[in-house]
Amino acid sequence: MTEQKNPCCTGSNPGFTELGAYIDALKIDPNDPERKEMLIMTLHKAQSIFGYLPAEVQQFVAKKFSIPHAAVSGVISFYNYFTTTPKGKTNISICMGTACYVNGSDKILQDFEKALGIKSGQVTADGRFSIESLRCVGACGLAPVVLINDHVYGKVKQGQAEKIIEEYLIEYGEPVEVE
């Protein structure tokens, strides 16, 4: 599997129509003290539509709000929830907090990278998998921890990555051999 090109904003994505309608319905008043809350709500909406917040989406929001792009990117970088990196349908997050790291999470990250042929921060060409690393997710007793979407895998051992990936491939109904 290879790295995926930006899947979000090439060509005319209907997501922009949906996002534009959402913002228009807010009837933004430049003097409204709640404008910042509206911006945060809008960014949540945008991320739910596109999966992440690339520059093109940020610029669209900035234009609609009549504010500089930097004001939008500042809010995005302030809140951990927002991401400017695309994710796959199945997002694999490996905890790199201290407890997980001392229990070998760096080796587990390498296992997933090798099995999928991508690096942390990348998405497979078919858009099904992405890998990222996180700081402590608050489950240190289960270190090392891997989160796959909302599912927590605890005490993950080296060599288990392929088996875990296969569970998801089977779920997709089209098992594919991993390396």
Contacts of 135 (CB under 8 A, 6+ apart): 95, 96, 97
Binding mask 120-159 for ligand FES (x = CB under 6 A): ----------------xxxxx--x-x--------------
Helix ranges restricted to H, the chain: 14-26, 35-50, 55-65, 69-78, 98-102, 105-116, 161-171
Question: What's the CA gap between 43 and 40, in Å, rounded?
Answer: 5
- In the complex, what is the shortest distance from the CB of residue 22 to ligand FES, in angstroms, rounded to a whole number? 35
Nearest residue to ligand FES, scored by beta-carbon proximity: 97
Nearest approach in angstroms of CB 164 to ligand FES is 17
Contact call for residue 178 and ligand FES (CB under 6 A): no
The least CB distance from residue 30 to ligand FES, in Å, is: 43
Cβ distance to ligand FES smaller for residue 42 or 103: 103
Q: Which two tokens stand for residue 68?
A: 């500089």
Output the smallest distance, CB 139 to ligand FES, in A: 4
- Residue number, 72 or 145, with CB nearest to ligand FES: 145
87 neighbors 51 (Cβ within 8 angstroms): yes
Q: How many residues bind ligand FES (CB under 6 A)?
A: 12
CA gyration radius for the chain? 19
**Which of positions 47-106 make contact with ligand FES (CB under 6 A)?**
95, 97-100
- Cα–Cα distance, 77 to 84 (Å, whole number): 9
Distant-in-sequence, close-in-space partners of 112: CB < 8 Å, separation ≥ 6: 92, 94, 131, 146, 161, 165
Q: Please, which residue, 99 or 178, has the CB nearer to ligand FES?
A: 99
Centre a 10 Å sphere on the Cβ of residue 52 and count the other Cβ atoms it contains.
Answer: 19
Question: Judged by CB, which is closer to ligand FES: 22, or 101?
Answer: 101
Interface residues with ligand FES (CB under 6 A)?
A: 95, 97-100, 136-140, 143, 145
